[in-house]
Amino acid sequence: MPNTRRFARRPSSRKPTLAQRADPHDCYQRAVQCVGAEIDFVDETFSAIRGRQAVRLREDFCGTANTSCEWVRRRSRNLAIGMDLDAPTLEWGKAHNLSTLTKSQRARIDLRQSDVLVEHPDLRGTLDMVLAMNFSYWIFQKRETLLAYFRRVREDLAPDGMLFMDAYGGFDALKLFKERRKIPRASQGEPSVHGFNTPFTYIWDQHSYNPITGELVCKIHFQFPDGSKLRDAFVYTWRLWGLREVRDVLEEAGFRRTTAYWEGDDDEGGGNGEFTASEQGESCASWICYVSAEK
Question: Which residues sit at the interface with ligand SAM, rule CB under 6 A?
Answer: 32-33, 61-63, 83-86, 89, 115-117, 133-134, 136, 139
Whichever of 19 and 62 has its CB closer to ligand SAM, that residue is 62
Closest CB 197 distance from ligand SAM, rounded Å: 20
70/128 with CB nearer ligand SAM: 70
What are the respective helix, strand and coil percentages of the chain, to the nearest 5? 35, 35, 35
Shortest gap between Cβ of 131 and ligand SAM (angstroms)? 8
Minimal distance, residue 31 CB to ligand SAM, in Å: 10
Q: Closest CB to ligand SAM among 66 and 192?
A: 66
Beta bridge partner(s), residue 120: none
Query: Are the CB atoms for 38 and 133 separated by under 8 Å?
Result: yes
Q: Which is nearer to ligand SAM, 8 or 148 (CB)?
A: 148
With b for 16 or more beta-carbon neighbours within 10 A and e for fewer, the 156-178 pattern comes to bbbeebbbbbbbbbeeebeeeee
Separation CA 289–CA 280 (nearest Å): 12
Minimum distance from CB of 61 to ligand SAM (Å)? 3
Nearer to ligand SAM, 133 or 267 (CB): 133
With a CB cutoff of 8 Å and minimum separation 6, the contacts of 100 are 69, 191
**Nearest approach, Cβ of residue 59 and ligand SAM (Å):** 6
The contacts of residue 192 (CB under 8 Å, 6+ apart) are: 26, 30, 186
